[in-house]
Amino acid sequence: MTISYDIIVIGAGHAGCEAASAAARMGSRTLLLTMDMAKIADMSCNPAIGGVAKGQIVREIDALGGMTGRIADLTSVQFRMLNRSKGAAMWSPRAQCDKREFSQQWRRTLENTVNLYIWQDAATEILFDTSDAGRRVKGVKTRMGVEFECRAVILTAGTFLAGEMYCGGSHAEGGRAGDAASTGITESLVAIGFEAGRMKTGTPARLDARTINFEILEPQWGDENPSKFSFDPDIQPVKNQLPCFLVHTSAQVHDILRGGFDRSPLFDGTIRGIGPRYCPSIEDKLRTFADRDSHQLFLEPEGRSTNEYYLNGFSSSLPWEVQLEALHGIRGFEDLHIYRPGYAIEYDYFPPTQLHHSLATKLVDNLFFAGQINGTTGYEEAAAQGLVAGINAHRMLAGRAPFVLARDQAYIGVLIDDLVTKGVDEPYRMFTSRAEYRILLRQDNADMRLTEKGYELGLVSERMHRIFLEKKSSVESLVRFLREQSIKAGEIDDYLKSISSEPMTQGRRIYDIVLRSDVHISDLARVVPKLQRYLLDNAVSAEAVEQAEIEIKYHGYIEREKFIAQKLHRLENISIPADFDFTSLNSLTIEARQKLSRIRPLTIGQASRIPGVSPADINVLLIKFGR
């Protein structure tokens, strides 16, 4: 046992776990500080991983060698591919997980990771070395009085920094129900010049399944042939899936809830933090959509061995008795017992414009921020930041360039670039609409985009790299086969007629037939013997078949987005000196000078994405630095 480490990660939530795992596996001696080892990677809110755009992020994490996708697959109770009725760029994997198993699987993983050590205690202060050359991290002090030495710190404290929980007129300090808040860190960072703010999130009541009338509820099952997050073929899709259920509020329920608005900390000024617009409380929904008589809710199981259910869409900080009365008004909940009411939580965060794209802070050397303290919401966004911070903390100590993903390379790149260049005015949540290259950033090709990078980083194993190369070759060979082989006119007329597709008037390459929106390779193989034989002889996986089909059908769109991305990359290659004085360029607008001076972009591309910096301002910078 020593008190000296290369990297210390503060907080064992989803960001902290990925950060510690990555840094340790890359070779840094890493300490993970957590206030409760029984709640490592706890699913404090809903027991699910993935969703729209979030599922793409989880597949990217897996492709880079992160662990969230694997652990979600190992602990899933249901899996669905969302948006199957839309284009492939919108397909988003989502899994319901066994909440307790997810946490325990993460703990087992971390406890068996070489170079990784865990210490149960609360960090109260980050220690710094100050010299003429600047300020850098030198250690962490804990509540028990232990001072650990380190060369870098990754702060992933989630909602715990000065956390306060609210339920009606009652409030208490805490990072989540049953856990104490973390104090001291915000104060020590603000004292040396960091800007901090307050944000708010919330969670719904937890329900006792024994008191729910499931017979009259509408079940929502997982996919008949479920997929998974991980690209590892040894990890099997979920079996024996559990259903979720749809329930609805009513005008009567809304009236009960409105009767408690005068005691809502959200409306009486008690809570000042900014809440998530895309995941509002039930009170916010009633205020924003005042004309709606009903809202759809999702009843989600918390695990296989518990009666606890999560009511997605019913987050609330109203008095507990108002929550319970309203819940009793929902069909199927007439005799409901709850394990605990919903509550809101307010916590400290640090505006992310204070970070580089590596997630290192601009103010202090060797200090990284990741997760909800950067103003994000969601397990997936936190895990992605943690992975990048862990990678870059290790690379910084090794004297290597930071690992940064571009916006056309990954949703993770979009996420971090949005945070660092645009900042946040509400808890940030990833959506497909935030990515301008979403046809390139599909969930099916995350491995093609990122596995090679993960292998170069040292996070992807030799085995997984070999599997990736085999799949890549399989996809390319299948596309080549489809280009080379033809089908005679009339050969598949019965099949085309069965799917209401135009018959062929002359011979066609199979590739051209697959271009039709209603034709699928797997179906075509049943009526084209040479295609079926090729797939069987070459053991082409269903995943490779699907990816080849998407590449064929969307080829034109994919090439167009690649062309646009290449054009815009020119702006990313035009550097701005780190010490440039933007106030000296009088031809810039005042707002642009202020924003550029505060955020300090390193390229013209980054500057172009800062709110308040106009195209005319970018032209000025191009004249100065580019043309």
Does pLDDT of 134 surpass 80? no
Does pLDDT of 2 surpass 80? no
* pLDDT score recorded for residue 566: 84
CATH number at residue 530: 1.10.10.1800
Does pLDDT of 3 surpass 70? yes
37 and 179 in a common domain: yes
Predicted TM-score (pTM) of the model is: 0.93
- Alpha carbon of residue 283 to chain centroid: 26
φ and ψ of 435, to 5 deg? -100, 120
Strands (E), 221-325: 244-248, 296-301, 308-312
Inside any domain, residue 338: no
Domain boundary among 431, 448, 470: 431
* pLDDT score recorded for residue 605: 87
Buried b / exposed e over 472-504, threshold 16 CB at 10 Å, is bebbeebbebbeeebbeeeebeebbeeeebeeb
C-alpha pair distances (Å), 596 with each of 29, 339, 354, 568, 608: 37, 50, 12, 20, 10
Burial classification of residue 466, based on how many CB atoms lie within 10 Å of its CB (0-12 exposed, 13-18 middle, 19 or more buried)? exposed
Question: Which residue has 């000024």 as its token pair?
Answer: 269
pLDDT mean over 583-600: 89
* pLDDT score recorded for residue 525: 94
Question: Which residue has 């080379």 as its token pair?
Answer: 484
Mean residue pLDDT of the chain comes to 94
601 and 551 in a common domain: no
Inside any domain, residue 39: yes
Q: What domain count does the chain have? A: 3
Residue with more model confidence, 614 or 2: 614
Tokens standing for residue 269? 């000024």
Cα–Cα distance measured from residue 132 to residue 151, given in angstroms and rounded to the nearest whole number: 18
Inside any domain, residue 119: yes
Inside any domain, residue 565: no
Conformational region of residue 490, where left means phi above 0, alpha means psi within -120 to 50, and beta covers everything else: left
pLDDT band, residue 408 (cuts 50/70/90): very high
List the single range of 60-74, 161-175, 302-316, 352-366 with lowest mean pLDDT: 161-175
DSSP secondary structure string for all residues of 185-203? HHHHHHHTT---EEEEEEE
Residue 404 · residue 385 · CB < 8 Å: no
Domain boundary among 535, 558, 581: 558
What pLDDT, in 10s, does the model give residues 63-113?
999 999 999 999 999 999 999 999 999 999 999 999 999 999 999 999 999
Does pLDDT of 375 surpass 80? yes
22 and 116 in a common domain: yes
What pLDDT, in 10s, does the model give residues 199-219?
999 999 999 999 999 999 999
Domain boundary among 534, 558, 582: 558
490 and 352 in a common domain: no
Cα–Cα distance measured from residue 310 to residue 49, given in angstroms and rounded to the nearest whole number: 14
Tokens standing for residue 522? 């797997």
Inside any domain, residue 564: no
* pLDDT score recorded for residue 565: 84
Query: Terminus-to-terminus CA distance in the chain, angstroms?
Result: 57
617 and 521 in a common domain: no
Residue 601 · residue 356 · CB < 8 Å: no
CATH number at residue 584: 1.10.150.570
Cα–Cα distance measured from residue 436 to residue 434, given in angstroms and rounded to the nearest whole number: 6
pLDDT mean over 410-424: 95
Residue with more model confidence, 293 or 573: 293
Does pLDDT of 568 surpass 80? no
pLDDT mean over 409-416: 96
* pLDDT score recorded for residue 616: 84
Domain that holds residue 480: 462-558
Does pLDDT of 322 surpass 70? yes
Does pLDDT of 296 surpass 90? yes
The DSSP symbol for 365 reads B
Does pLDDT of 131 surpass 80? no
369 and 488 in a common domain: no
Residue 376 · residue 347 · CB < 8 Å: no
113 and 164 in a common domain: yes
Does pLDDT of 422 surpass 70? yes
pLDDT mean over 583-589: 90
Which three-class secondary structure state does DSSP give residue 451? Answer: helix
- Alpha carbon of residue 330 to chain centroid: 32
160 and 31 in a common domain: yes
List the single range of 450-454, 459-463, 586-590 with lowest mean pLDDT: 586-590
135 and 21 in a common domain: yes
* pLDDT score recorded for residue 1: 67
- CA-angle at 67, arms to 76 and 203, nearest 5°: 55
* Neighbouring residues of 602: CB distance < 8 A, sequence distance ≥ 6: 357, 575, 576, 578
Inside any domain, residue 71: yes
157 and 24 in a common domain: yes
413 and 493 in a common domain: no
Residue with more model confidence, 567 or 251: 251
DSSP secondary structure string for all residues of 119-174? EES-EEEEEEEEETTEEEEEEEEETTS-EEEEEEEEE--TT-BT-EEEETTEEEE-
C-alpha pair distances (Å), 234 with each of 70, 237, 448, 592: 10, 10, 19, 52
* pLDDT score recorded for residue 549: 95
Inside any domain, residue 375: yes
CATH number at residue 379: 3.50.50.60
* Neighbouring residues of 373: CB distance < 8 A, sequence distance ≥ 6: 155, 156, 157, 158, 161, 348, 349, 350
Inside any domain, residue 223: no
147-155 vs 367-369, strand pairing mode: parallel
* pLDDT score recorded for residue 627: 60
112 and 20 in a common domain: yes
pLDDT band, residue 606 (cuts 50/70/90): confident
Residue 558 · residue 438 · CB < 8 Å: no
